[in-house]
Amino acid sequence: MKIGFIGLGNMGAPMAANLAQAGHDVTGFDVAGTTAEGVAQADTINAAATGMDVVITMLPNGAILRDVAAQIIPLMSKGACFIDCSTVDVDSARAVAQDAEKAGILAVDAPVSGGVGGASGGTLTFMAGGSADAFAKAEPLFDIMGQKAVHCGAAGAGQAAKICNNMILGATMIATCEAFALADKLGLERQKMFDVVSTSSGYSWSMNAYCPAPGVGPQSPADNDYKPGFAAELMLKDLGLSQQAAETADADTPMGQLALSLYKTFVEDEGGKGRDFSAMLPRFSKRGRG
């Protein structure tokens, strides 16, 4: 396929490179001028969208996605596929899909899970929303860039799945960090805490796969001075999207709201920006009850 890839940042560049390595003809564009291995560089965003079978975007937020979509949809060929892999608000995903479909273009919102490591290793999980035809066209590309793709439903369903997942992740990471800090103060060794919880009813991805305590469990950012695998400010963004969606849907999400508040304070006032989201553990360890 001829593929245009717009947004060659930490996630987009390795994703585009994997598509090129698999034999696709990939042309990339990024406003910062970044490039990706094996990917031809377009001078303009228009050049990355014109005449392509598929255009993939990986962008920072819904407002930028809407602007980019408004620019490229009129340039795309009828029957082409527009795959957005950004994590954005559900309303933006649905609005862009509607505009694409009006222009005769297949549209898929397909945010990802797996971080930079998953993007580089081609092991991402894609949560996709859109028509069955659109998903069918995108699925072979998901198979190259990731290890799993789930068709979650109509337009916006991919974003809904991503923000619900990450609302759980934010809340469970906070609870895991709180529990380790409490265990410390109760004189319980962290390794013993892990040995019990990781095989008991407190089991979670935050504990078992991404343990926030250094030297405990499998390797995680905690073992690298909390350098980000998933930055706290990105968790803050996703929790903000979850509460924006909850407001629109009139859903009661007090744990999600509290997680948003705690990460907001951590990122904006407590030096959490640029640290992994699991760095909540040293944050709680330093704090007392008051």
Structural domains in the chain?
Answer: 2-154 (3.40.50.720), 160-286 (1.10.1040.10)
Cα 70 to Cα 62: distance, rounded to the nearest angstrom: 12
pLDDT of residue 106: 98
Active-site position among 2, 162, 264, 286: 162
Residue 257: which region, alpha, beta or left (left: phi > 0; alpha: psi -120 to 50)? alpha
Is position 227 annotated as part of the catalytic site? no
pLDDT of residue 39: 97
Cα 226 to Cα 274: distance, rounded to the nearest angstrom: 9
Residues of the chain with pLDDT under 70: none
- Cα dihedral value 238, 239, 243, 244, nearest 10: -30
CB 13 within 8 A of CB 36: yes
pLDDT of residue 115: 85
pLDDT of residue 116: 86
Cα 52 to Cα 80: distance, rounded to the nearest angstrom: 7
Q: Which helix (H) or strand (E) holds 113?
A: strand 112-113
pLDDT of residue 117: 87
Paired sense of beta strands 106-109 and 124-130, if any: antiparallel
Q: What are phi and psi of 131, to 5 degrees?
A: -70, 165
